[in-house]
Structure 1
Amino acid sequence: MPDIWFYHLEKTPLPQVLPDLLEKVVQKGWRAYVHGHDDDKIDVLNSQLWSYNSASFLAHDREGDELASRQPVLLGTSGDMVNSPEVYVSVAPVDFPDISGLQRGLVVFEGADDEHLGWARQQWKRLKGEGADLAYWKQNTQGRWEKMQ
């Protein structure tokens, strides 16, 4: 099973955090599948990825589009990872798929969303019980990520 990292958002909303996380994935030469639970959230993330930084470009697409299988970052709701990613990114309380063939799993959840927070806690307990290698990252007062022990 791959490493699974949990990112607890407390200072910065998901649309602002996700581009930075995905840039790090792509810099490693990996592909990512971003799994949401509704089209509205995927629309917001898709728009943010197009406009977050005028000095850079993060190639991505939505599942179902013609070139979806070729994208380094694919956004979707089905869980069908047609772009053959190395990294699975959960951004909503969705069924966690089998990611045993991947390099890493990321669970990005907003602390202000009680449903998502509760779901993330359940996933942590379940995955820990399965012997997964887990890491918990939390934003400090400056909004930087700190790995918690």
Structure 2
Amino acid sequence: MAEVLFYHLTESRLEEALPELLERSLARGWRVVVQTASEERRDALDAHLWTYKDDSFLPHGTDVGGSGALQPILLTIEPEARANDPQVRFMVEGAVPSTLEGYERGVYLFDGHDEEQLASARARWKVEKAAGHAVTYWQQTEDRRWAKKA
């Protein structure tokens, strides 16, 4: 069973929070899939991860073009994409995977100011818990740190 984390964004945007979480995953030696709900969001994250810091970037690619197996971080809209043999799957903005079986960790990031994303996260909590995964809920504090709430 996977460890499934729900990250409730209340103080920052996805573009601010995601790179730090991806850096932590790579530091642990994990390969990652980031599943978005739309091609537009996938492409925007693709551009952002190259330039989010002046002195750094995150090595990644998209599932467009066939080089997915080579990518430490693979951006996709496909619910079953696993071309890079990932240990971690991030789901953003309401994206839903076909399964989290075979992953060490699943991570849902959702905007606390978006009612659709909140509803989707609540529904996914029930699904993942019923599937037997160990689920935890993290919420941002005012200083943009993560506090475990459940």
TM-score, with length taken from structure 1 = 0.94
CA apart distance, 1:78: 1.2
Equivalents in 1 of 2:133, 2:27: separation in Å?
25
Q: Kindly report which structure 2 residues correspond to 1:4-83, keeping only aligned pairs within 5 A, or say none.
A: 4-79=4-79, 80-83=81-84
User: Secondary structure in 2 aligned to 1:30?
Assistant: coil
Equivalents in 1 of 2:32, 2:91: separation in Å?
10
Equivalents in 2 of 1:66, 1:124: separation in Å?
32
For the aligned residues, what is the CA RMSD?
1.2
CA apart distance, 1:138: 0.5
Equivalents in 2 of 1:95, 1:139: separation in Å?
22
* Unaligned runs of at least 5 residues, structure 2: none
CA apart distance, 1:97: 2.0
CA apart distance, 1:57: 2.5
CA apart distance, 1:50: 0.7
CA apart distance, 1:113: 1.3
Figure out how many residues of one structure are paired with residues of the other and give that number.
149
**Which residue in the other structure is 2:122 paired with?**
121
**Which residue in the other structure is 1:142 paired with?**
143
Equivalents in 2 of 1:43, 1:130: separation in Å?
31
Are the equivalent residues in 2 in contact too, given 1:35–1:92 (CA < 8 A)?
Answer: no
CA apart distance, 1:110: 0.5
Equivalents in 1 of 2:130, 2:2: separation in Å?
15
TM-score, with length taken from structure 2 = 0.94
4+ residue runs of structure 1 moved beyond 6 angstroms? none
Equivalents in 1 of 2:144, 2:37: separation in Å?
26
Are the equivalent residues in 1 in contact too, given 2:93–2:111 (CA < 8 A)?
Answer: no
Deviations 1:110-134 (A, max 9, x none): 0111111100000101222232201
Deviations 1:10-52 (A, max 9, x none): 1100011110010000000001000011111112211210111
Equivalents in 2 of 1:138, 1:85: separation in Å?
25
